[in-house]
Amino acid sequence: MNKVQRILFLLINSLFVAKYSIRGGLNPFISVSLYCLFTITIWLFISKRKPQNNRTLKIAYFFSISLLIIGILLLHFFINPYSLQVDRWSAIHNFLQNLFNGVYPYSAHTHLGGYGSPFPVWQAFHIPFYLLGNVGLGMLFSIILLSIFLIWLFNNYHRALIYIILMAISPAFWYEAAVRSDLIYNFILCFIAIGFIYKKKYSIQQQALGLGILCGLFLSTRFSIVIPFAIYLFPDFISSDIKQKLIFVSVAMLVFIISFLPFVFWNNTLFFFKYNPFVLQTRQGSLIEVLLISITGIYLSTKWKGSISNCFGYIAITIIILVITTFLHRMISDNFVNGLFDSAYDITYFNMALPFMIYVLADNNLMTLTKKNNIKSV
């Protein structure tokens, strides 16, 4: 699993290096080679390092988090969001701007003239950051929350530090930060939620109502969030009795539906609008991809067998399979008119897998190191 995740980590980040090397007039092969060499060097360095004392690790960890936060703030300070050719940030900002001005939110155009696809709960999550003047601060909040959560999840500063280092050397992450995209931190929060459920040992049999509410809220961010929760919860769902299954499913769907009701009552044309969020979130896929991912997800959900590292690895693999099959289907339909780096294909969808993939790399790296050195982790 670790080798597969390392290859996928290099491939995803190499796509970003290659795409923006070409746009910058650089040789993509040289750029990708240098990036891979740099990343492999970092891997070799951290894999050979014995865990330091807890005080040193704490200092290194919080120093790394501080650098990450400063880096994001600098990108937001120096990059004018209206100059970006990515409108995920304005899909949220303009929605909330309409909302607070009493204008129907889902009629809002992005700064590039499109329409926003995020679901209501995800829009509501950004209200505090909108009021602060920058919806992109959602990423800072998520990174700070992640940094606290990793220590609790791993119970280990070394693993948490490796996680942050791997994120910091990921061009895909820095791209998300630069364009103020909400995609990756939507899945960082999903990673935190699943990790929390795992750590607390919550189950559908015992906490059907609470888990139903949580899944309903996350479902009201974007549809693709179903994949991580489905792979993690499916074995638990199958083993629960019929009453708890019904409570879980009905509560999740009820929460999801309720989140849309204010906008349905506000303007009953939501579902008939050509660019409503349901259309925008499903236009990239087809029934073929849904069937393929459903089969893949169900199969892999039965394979992780209590290992959260394997679970997160399978989540990453399933997401990547979804993106690849969607791209291939579209390429075939378009007779390969557009290349992978054309605007027709949004490679940022691969970033949905990164939070889970990096966990596997951080977790397995330290387990391997501990076995080699016959030492206890700290």
DSSP per-residue letters across 9-71: HHHHHHHHHHHHHHHTT--HHHHHHHHHHHHHHHHHHHHHPPP--HHHHHHHHHHHHHHHHHH
pLDDT digits (tens, 9 = 90+) for 12-51: 999 999 999 998 999 999 999 999 999 999 988 887 766 6
pLDDT of residue 338: 74
CB 47 within 8 A of CB 362: no
CA distance linking residue 253 with residue 3, whole number of Å: 38
pLDDT of residue 56: 86
CA 336 to each of CA 147, 254, 339, 341: distance values in angstroms, whole numbers, following the listed order: 42, 42, 7, 12
pLDDT of residue 277: 83
Residue 109: strand pairing partners:
115
* Identity of the residue numbered 294: S
Q: How far apart are the first and last CA of the chain?
A: 24
pLDDT of residue 50: 64
Which residues of the chain have a pLDDT value below 70? 1, 49-52, 284-285, 365-378
pLDDT of residue 283: 72
pLDDT of residue 369: 44
pLDDT of residue 44: 87
The vertex-75 CA angle with 70 and 78, nearest 5°, equals 120
pLDDT digits (tens, 9 = 90+) for 191-233: 999 999 999 999 999 999 999 999 999 999 999 999 999 999 9
Closest CA to 125 of 271, 259, 266, 319: 259
Eight-state DSSP code of residue 115 = B
